[in-house]
Structure 1
Amino acid sequence: MHRLFLSLGMLAAAFLAFPAQALAADSIAGRWVTQDRDAVVEIKQCGNVTCGRIARFLVTPPDGADQRDINNPDANLRQRKLLGLPILTQFREDGSKWRGRIYDPNNGKSYRSVIQRKGANTIEVSGCIGPFCQTQTWRRAR
């Protein structure tokens, strides 16, 4: 009888722990190839938030591998190199999604962003203006 209660107790503890794990978002950390297959973005923990930077070019930018952030609206930031540039900032886990900001160096604009895991090797990255979002699928880099 004692063994039965012990087993039931362990089973109950497992069920109580499961909902907390089920609500947590799968980590988005790793190296991801953008939908256009022009770059690899490395996503990792940056202090108490998650961030992502351009880790590698798969297609050389128009001004070469030393391309600068020439479209940035802030003239003081236009000399930053794109390689290593943080494009995902301030991401925080929110249920099954991650919410933060995404920077597009092609037009120099930042957008509200949502990232969601769609599988072990796929994430969906959305950039939004108001209620309108554009979504891309990024695949895990090999």
Structure 2
Amino acid sequence: MKNTLKFLLIALIMFSFSAVKAQKEVGIWKTIDDETNKPKSYVELYIKNGKLYGKVVKLLNNDEENPLCEECEGNLHNQPIIGMQIVNGLTKRKSDWYKKLGILDPANGKVYDCKMWLEDENTLNVRGFMGPFYRTQTWYRVE
């Protein structure tokens, strides 16, 4: 009985640590425009069914209160950018998250392959790419 209790306690602790590690990307992140170096938006990253998703929760330095995605195609065309899912089901790999056609840029309506990885607990690198061409943004955790 004593050994069983010890085993369960150790298993619970190990599970807790692994759950925390897997959730480090979850939260609200401030995006920085890689061309202007200015804050652009807040994106909330969350995990659903083991995949990473993200939606715009606030726009920064924007003249319009809630602009529409005029360049988006299909059911996202002319939809409000705030609340829009822009990170779409990235899969966890060894040290990053990845998916072909995994991130939408509402500024131009294009969808790119996406790779995300933590530089540290409060810094997330987000790379959108098409073939050999890519752009990387740095996002910062909002406390």
TM-score, normalised to structure 1's length?
A: 0.75
Of 44, 47, 66, the match for 1:45? 47
How many angstroms does 1:134 deviate by?
Answer: 1.0
Letter in 2 for 1:121: N
Percent of matched pairs sharing the same residue: 29
After superposing on structure 2, the runs of 4+ consecutive aligned residues of structure 1 that deviate more than 4 Å are none
Instruction: Show the counterpart of 1:92.
Output: 91
Report what 1:10 is aligned to: none
Partner of 1:58: 60
Q: SS where residue 38 of structure 1 aligns?
A: strand
| Gap runs ≥5 in structure 2 | 1-13, 34-38
5 Å-filtered alignment, 1:1-142, equals 27-36=24-33, 37-60=39-62, 62=63, 64-74=64-74, 76-100=75-99, 101-142=102-143
Q: What is the rounded CA distance, in whole Å, between the counterparts of 1:26 and 1:53 in structure 2?
A: 16
Query: SS of the counterpart of 1:33?
Result: strand
Which one has the largest radius of gyration?
A: 1
Please list every run of 5 or more consecutive structure 1 residues that lacks an aligned counterpart in the other structure: 1-16
| TM-score, normalised via structure 2 length | 0.75
Aligned residues: 120
